[in-house]
Chain A
Amino acid sequence: MQVLYGRHHVRVYRFGLRLVRDEQAAEDLISEVFLDVWRQAGKFEGRSAVSTWLLAITRFKALSALRRRKDVGLDDEAANAIEDSSDDPEIAVQKKDTSEALRECLTGLSPDHREIVDLVYYHEKSVEEVAEIVGIPENTVKTRLFYARKKLAELLKAAGVERGWP
């Protein structure tokens, strides 16, 4: 378990943190995830990479944790529709650095879009693996990322950053 934890805990933590947006909650989350793994190790059938399995568990637990949050009191659909107001893309207008503006806008994406961007770019998951983690068809994975990127382009344009696409 120490080996598994040592190898994966940072990425699991970062994925969880991007979903729950609270460091304490993300730390609690990874403890729960690896405890589940400890309990279910015998059930792992090796059909997917361990990291894919871990991220799928993390996602499930993060969404459950978000639902449990008493101070939020939102249903899943409403939570997913929310864009982070603290990351108003207009702030990025003042940023001189395009990279910084891009990071601001990446943070400002909806949870669904943020999640798929992270899984593909940072966690280097294939179309099939993302489909398995998120629980959606492969074609939906492709189009969701496409529209996430379009939304990102919109946010960047609103922030005064032109990248030549779309």
Chain B
Amino acid sequence: MMALSKKMLEQEPSEIELLLPWHAAGTLNTRDARRVEEALARDPALAKQYAAIRGEYEETIHLNESLGAPSARAMQKLFAAIDAEPARPVGSLPLSARIATFFSSLSPRTLAWSASLGAIALLLQAGIIGAVLMKTQPATFETASLSVGAPITRELGAPPARALVRFTPEARVADITALLDSYQASIIGDAKGGMFRLQFDKAMGRDELASLLGRMSREKFVNLAVAAP
């Protein structure tokens, strides 16, 4: 062991040698990747080291993947904290613009490994878009002929049914996503007291909604499901 340590300390790594881990992870730029490829082709010792690095790379991924995912508790805690935040002052950009700017900078590379995350993102995105639209646009329209006085508005058909739902602490995002999918519902509001505001994709009568919420309440990952006031 001591001999090994001493020997290792005596070795100064070459520049190419230092880049091997990033080559294994595929994060080198084209120029450096080509330099590493050429060096690997002509140096068997380097190729041997690279094979060891590939093993480290794969096991590091396995190790991290085995760590699981957080429970729904973390998400509930987050959105409860966001709810508790003081109202934001009117800024230079509206919320929708800030969100758009923010998400436009997301790097897609790290998402490539998981198509399921993409599906979750799409579903949740529908929820946030719905929430933003509902905050900024009333579900009615004002007639163009009206010039003064109170606006004359007309309902755009019966509104989709809504509910308040509390998920169990064990529920993970994938579970919640699958549940929302099976009920054709989207999250449209932040959690308040651990409750999420859901919207179904169609209008429902009182009895139909009550029956559906009864069924939802019996789901494994649902603690409570009630009609939204």
**Which among B18, B56, B98 is the interface contact of A121 at CB below 8 angstroms?**
B56
**Which among B19, B26, B69 is the interface contact of A10 at CB below 8 angstroms?**
B69
Interface flags for B171-191 (1: CB within 8 Å of A; 0: not) read 001000000000000010000
If A17-B67, A121-B61, A122-B61 touch, does A41 touch B102 (CB 8 Å cutoff)? yes
Candidate in A7, A28, A34, A39 with the most chain B CB atoms within 10 angstroms = A7
Residues of the B chain whose Cβ atoms lie less than 8 Å from the Cβ of A44:
102, 105
Residues of the A chain whose Cβ atoms lie less than 8 Å from the Cβ of B77:
27-28, 31
Interface flags for A9-22 (1: CB within 8 Å of B; 0: not) read 11101100110000
Tally B residues with Cβ within 8 Å of A: 69
Interface flags for A72-105 (1: CB within 8 Å of B; 0: not) read 0000000000000000000000000011001100
Interface residues of A (CB under 8 A from B): 1-7, 9-11, 13-14, 17-18, 23, 26-28, 30-31, 34-35, 38-39, 41-42, 44, 46, 49-52, 98-99, 102-103, 106-107, 117-118, 120-127, 142-143, 145-146, 149-150, 152-154, 157-158, 163-166
Q: What are 27 inter-chain pairs, A to B, with CB distance below 8 A? A: A3-B103, A6-B117, A7-B106, A9-B74, A9-B173, A13-B70, A26-B70, A27-B71, A35-B78, A42-B93, A46-B101, A49-B105, A50-B106, A50-B107, A51-B110, A102-B56, A106-B63, A107-B63, A118-B64, A120-B22, A121-B60, A125-B27, A143-B18, A146-B18, A153-B4, A153-B8, A157-B1
